[in-house]
Amino acid sequence: MLRLYEVMFIVRPDVADEDADKLIAGFTAAVTNGGGVVKSVEKMGRRKLAYQVRKFNDGNYVLLTIEANGAVVLELERRLRVTEQVIKFITVRIDEEEKRLAKLKAHRGVRRSAAAPASAPAAAPAAVPAAVPAAAETDEAVQAIV
C-alpha cells in the first residue's frame, strides 16, 4: 500500500552543489526503483542548525515528498544512515494528516452552509415581549417548585 511521506535530510555544508545533486538523484532513484514515486524535491538551501551536529553548525536542507510503501522507506532510511554526506534526517508520514485536514475542511464546509441561511438579516425586529408576569404568578411558580 502506497503512503505519502516527507523525508527531510541535512547534507554537510562542505559538499559541492553538484555532489549534492548527485546524492539527491541517487535517493530519488532508490525510491523509483523500489516502486515508489517522488512527488517533489525541494532544496531549501544552507541554514544554521539549532545545535552542533557532527561538528557542523550549518547544513544544506533537502525535502523529499514521496509516495511509497514501507519497504521502500526503510531502504531509503538505510541509505541515508550510511551516506557520510548526510548528517541528519527524519521521515514523517503525512497521509494521515492530509486525511484529517480534508475531513476537517469538509466538516467546516457543512457547518458553514448550514449556518448561511440562519445568518440572513431579519426583515423586522421581533415584537416586544409580553408584559412581565405579576408578582403573584411568580410566587405561585416558586411555591410549585419548592
**Stretch 71-84: mean pLDDT:** 96
Asked, for residue 10, whether it belongs to a domain, the answer is: yes
Residue 72 has pLDDT above 70, yes or no: yes
Confidence of residue 34 (pLDDT cuts 50, 70, 90): very high
Confidence of residue 118 (pLDDT cuts 50, 70, 90): low
* CATH number assigned to the domain comprising residue 32: 3.30.70.60
Compare 6 and 96 and report the one with higher pLDDT.
6
Q: What is the tally of structural domains in the chain?
A: 1
Asked, for residue 38, whether it belongs to a domain, the answer is: yes
Confidence of residue 111 (pLDDT cuts 50, 70, 90): confident
> Does residue 20 contact residue 11 with C-beta atoms inside 8 Å?
yes
**Stretch 57-67: mean pLDDT:** 96
**What pLDDT digit, counting tens, does each position of 81-104 carry?**
999 999 999 999 998 888 888 888
**DSSP per-residue codes, the chain:** --EEEEEEEEE-TTS-HHHHHHHHHHHHHHHHHTT-EEEEEEEEEEEEEEEEETTEEEEEEEEEEEEE-HHHHHHHHHHHHH-TTEEEEEEEE-HHHHHHHHHHHHHHHHHHHHHHHHTSPPSSPPPPPPPPPPHHHHHHHHHHH-
Asked, for residue 74, whether it belongs to a domain, the answer is: yes
Asked, for residue 128, whether it belongs to a domain, the answer is: no
Asked, for residue 82, whether it belongs to a domain, the answer is: yes
Asked, for residue 101, whether it belongs to a domain, the answer is: no
Mean of all residue pLDDT scores within the chain: 86
Percent of the chain with pLDDT over 90: 63
Residue 144 has pLDDT above 80, yes or no: no
Give the structural domain span for 50.
3-96
Asked, for residue 84, whether it belongs to a domain, the answer is: yes
Asked, for residue 46, whether it belongs to a domain, the answer is: yes
